[in-house]
Amino acid sequence: MKLNTTVHAVTQRIIERSQPTRAAYLAQLHADAQRPPGAQRLGCANVAHAFAAMPANDKLRVVAEKAPNIGIVTAYNDMLSAHAPLGHYPDLIKSEARKHGATVQVAGGVPAMCDGVTQGQPGMELSLFSRDVIAMGTAVALSHDVFEGALMLGVCDKIVPGLLIGALQFGHLPTVFVPGGPMTSGLSNNAKSKVREQAAQGLVGREELLAAESAAYHGEGTCTFYGTANSNQMLLEAMGLHVPGTAFINPGAAIRDELTREALRTVLGSADFKCPPIGLLVDERCIGNAMVALLATGGSTNHLIHWVAVARAAGILIDWSDFSALSDVVPLLTRVYPNGSADVNQFQAAGGPGFVIRELLDGGFMHADVLTVRAGGLREYTCKPEAAEPRGIAVEKLEGKVPQALVWKAVGASKDEAVVRPASNPFSASGGLKLLLGNLGRSVIKISAVPDDRYVIEAPCRVFDSQDALHKAFSANELNRDVVCVVRWQGPQANGMPELHKLTPPLAVLQGKGFNVALVTDGRMSGASGKVPAAIHVSPEASAGGPLARVRDGDVIRLDAPAGTLQVLVPDDVWVAREAVTMPESLRAANGVGMGRALFASMRRNASSAEEGACSWL
C-alpha cells in the first residue's frame, strides 16, 4: 500500500528538521558500537566487581566463554498494581538465558509512582519529572557498561517514556520492553465515573465512593481504561519494541510467562536475525508510527509531551504541528474509555493492537519499512500470540528441533465493531486531536470523547490559581452558568505540571446541568477530561510569562475546536497593554516544600516548555 501523502510529508519534514541532531546521535551510537564486548573492554578489577555476585557457572560463561550478558532495568514494586506482576520476571529471564548460553543481571531499579494514588495530592507534582528521574536511573543502571543487550521492565505513565529515554542514551544496545498487562475487568469505567459525579454533588458519601473505586481497581495489572499507561503499550507495539502482541495479555494468563521468556530470546537474536540496536530502530519513521498509533486509538494527550522527549533522546525533533497534521488524516479506529464505554480487555478481545496496526499498514498510514526487534518487521505485530499445540517428543527428536512454545496467528476481522473498526469504516475520519492557536498561545484539545455540540464554547471566564480554588467555587454554587474555567500556574516551571483529574467530576456535573463549560489550563488533563472540552498544555505557561497571566475574571474566551483556535475576546490594544500578573510567591513557595518537592527545584527551574517535552535535561 502506498504511504499516505500527509504521513509522507510529515515524516520528511521531521527528517529534514532533525538532520543535525540525528546525525550527532548516530555518530555517538556508532562510536559506542565499535568497542569490544562488555567484559573484554574493562580492566580486571572492573570485571571482578561487575560479576562478583554472579553464580559460579554464570561467571564462567560471561568471563571465560564470553557469553552475551543482558541487563535488566526494572520498575518493579508491589505497591503499584501494574508493576507488581514484574517481581518474578528476573528469575524467569535468568533461567531462560541459561538455556541459551547467556547470562542476565538486574542492572538496576527505577522508581515508579502511581498517578492514581497521588491524584490531587502534593506528590502529584513530582509525577511528570519522575520521567526524567527514571531516565537518569536507567542510564545509571546501564552505565556499568557490561551488557550486550537490555530488557526494560515497566508499564505505566512516566515509567515507559523514562525507560525509553534512558535506553536511547545506550542506543548501541539491542533493547526489548517487557510489560505486565492489564488487570481483569472490574466495575465499568462508566459506572465508576457516575459514582464520582454523584460524590461531587454530595449525593453519595465516602463509603460508596470507596466501594466503587475498589471494585474498579481490584487486582494486579494496569488500570483498564485507555489512559497513558495503556497508550504506552500500544505505542511500543507500533514501534516494534515488544514481543508482538504482548501488550494486553493479563497477568497470570497462561502464556504471560512464556511471552516474558520470549523477550529474552528476542533480545539475544539468532543465527538468522540479530536484534537491532534500539538507537537505529527508533528512527523518524518509527516515531511517526507511534504518533499515528496514538491518534488512531484516541490515546493519552500526555504523549504529546512524552514522545516529544523520547524523540529528542534519539536526536529527532517533533512538535505539536506534526501531531495535528497527522490527526487530520489518520482515522479513529477504536472506542475505548474515555473515548467510549469499552475497556482495554474488550479492546484486546475485539482485535487489539494487532488489528489496529494491520489496518493502519494496509491503509498506508504507517511505515512498513522499519526495523523492529523481530525478523518479520512490523507485519509480525498484526498477529496475536497463542500457546503452540503440543507436539510429540519423538517427532521433535526426529526433526532435531526444540518444541515451539508460542505461535502467532492473524487477528482476522473485528470481533466487535463498537470497539474497533477497519480503516474503511472508522469512527471518525480524523484522529480527534486538534492544535489550538490564538492570543492565548498554543494548546491542544482531544475531541474524540467530546460531543459534537460542545466543539465550540464561548463564555465569560473564571480564573483560578489552583484545583482547590475551583472546587471551592463549585461547592459554593458559584459556577452554575456558562463558564470557561481557567486554571493557571500548572505548567512544568510552576509546579511540575500535575494532571488535573480532580477537576473532571465538577466540570462534568456542570455540563450535565446543560451549561456550556470548558477548561483552559497550562496543566495536564490526559484523557480524564472525557466529555468536557479542555484546552490543555497551554504554552508558554503562565509562570513563564505566557498569555494566561493576562487573563482576568469575566474575559470572554472562545474555544473553537473545528477552527483550531483559542482566543480571549479582548480588543487588541487592551490586550497588548494589559500587564501580566506574576505567580503569587506564597503559591510558588508552597509548591517547593513538602513531599520531596524541594528536591525537584532545579527541574522546575530548567524545564523546557510542554511542547518541547517538559524536559529538565536539555
Share of the chain above pLDDT 90, in %: 81
- The answer to whether the bond into 85 is cis (omega within 30° of 0) is no
Q: What are phi and psi of 592, to 5 degrees?
A: -105, 5
What 3-state DSSP class applies to 608? coil
Query: Residue 33 is placed in which grid cell?
Result: 558500537
Residue 529 in this model has a pLDDT that exceeds 70: no
What 3-state DSSP class applies to 524? strand
Q: Angle 284-296/303-313 helices, nearest 10 degrees?
A: 170
Distances (CA, A) of 136 to 32, 73, 111, 163: 19, 12, 11, 9
Query: Residue 473 is placed in which grid cell?
Result: 467555587
Over the stretch 315-361, which tens digit does the pLDDT of each residue have? 999 999 999 999 999 999 999 988 888 999 999 999 999 999 999 99
Residue 48 in this model has a pLDDT that exceeds 90: no
Q: What are phi and psi of 362, to 5 degrees?
A: -65, -30
pLDDT for 475 equals 95
pLDDT for 390 equals 62
Rounded mean pLDDT, 529-551: 93
- The answer to whether the bond into 390 is cis (omega within 30° of 0) is no
243 in Cβ contact with 259 (< 8 Å): yes
Comparing 359 with 504, the larger pLDDT belongs to 359
Strand partners, 149: 70
pLDDT for 400 equals 45
Strand partners, 103: 69
pLDDT for 39 equals 76
pLDDT for 392 equals 47
Rounded mean pLDDT, 90-118: 95
Residue 527 in this model has a pLDDT that exceeds 70: no
Identify the band that residue 397 occupies on the pLDDT scale cut at 50, 70 and 90: very low
Q: Provide the sign of the torsion angle of the four alpha carbons 463, 466, 470, 473, taken in this order.
A: negative
Share of the chain above pLDDT 70, in %: 97
Can you point out the beta strands (E) in 522-577?
534-539, 556-560, 565-568
pLDDT for 556 equals 98
Within a 10 A sphere around the Cβ of 293, how many other Cβ atoms?
26
Model pTM score: 0.95
Residue 449 in this model has a pLDDT that exceeds 90: no
577 in Cβ contact with 512 (< 8 Å): no
222 in Cβ contact with 155 (< 8 Å): yes
What is d(CA 485, CA 479) in angstroms, rounded to the nearest whole number? 9
Residue entry with cell 488535573: 500
Alpha helical stretches, state H, 201-329: 206-216, 228-239, 256-268, 278-281, 284-296, 303-313, 320-327
pLDDT for 168 equals 98
pLDDT for 61 equals 86
What is d(CA 555, CA 479) in angstroms, rounded to the nearest whole number? 15
pLDDT for 395 equals 41
What is d(CA 279, CA 282) in angstroms, rounded to the nearest whole number? 5
Comparing 118 with 265, the larger pLDDT belongs to 265
277 in Cβ contact with 174 (< 8 Å): yes
pLDDT for 403 equals 55
Q: Angle 352-362/228-239 helices, nearest 10 degrees?
A: 50
Over the stretch 169-221, which tens digit does the pLDDT of each residue have? 999 999 999 999 999 998 887 888 889 889 888 999 999 989 989 998 999 99
pLDDT for 200 equals 85
Q: Provide the sign of the torsion angle of the four alpha carbons 254, 257, 261, 267, taken in this order.
A: positive
**What b-and-e string marks burial along 87-110, b requiring 16 or more CB atoms within 10 Å of the CB?**
eebbebbbebbeeeebbbbbbbbb
Over the stretch 264-315, which tens digit does the pLDDT of each residue have? 999 999 999 999 999 999 999 999 999 999 999 999 999 999 999 999 999 9
DSSP assignment letter at 37? P
Residue 105 in this model has a pLDDT that exceeds 90: yes
DSSP assignment letter at 317? -
**What b-and-e string marks burial along 460-473, b requiring 16 or more CB atoms within 10 Å of the CB?**
ebbbbbbbeebbeb
Q: What is the dihedral of CA 226, 232, 235, 236, to 10 degrees?
A: -140
pLDDT for 320 equals 96
Tell me what the pLDDT averaged over the chain comes to: 93
Residue entry with cell 446543560: 514
Residue entry with cell 503569587: 584
What is d(CA 14, CA 21) in angstroms, rounded to the nearest whole number? 11
pLDDT for 398 equals 40
Rounded mean pLDDT, 29-35: 95
Q: Provide the sign of the torsion angle of the four alpha carbons 116, 122, 128, 130, taken in this order.
A: negative
Rounded mean pLDDT, 485-499: 96
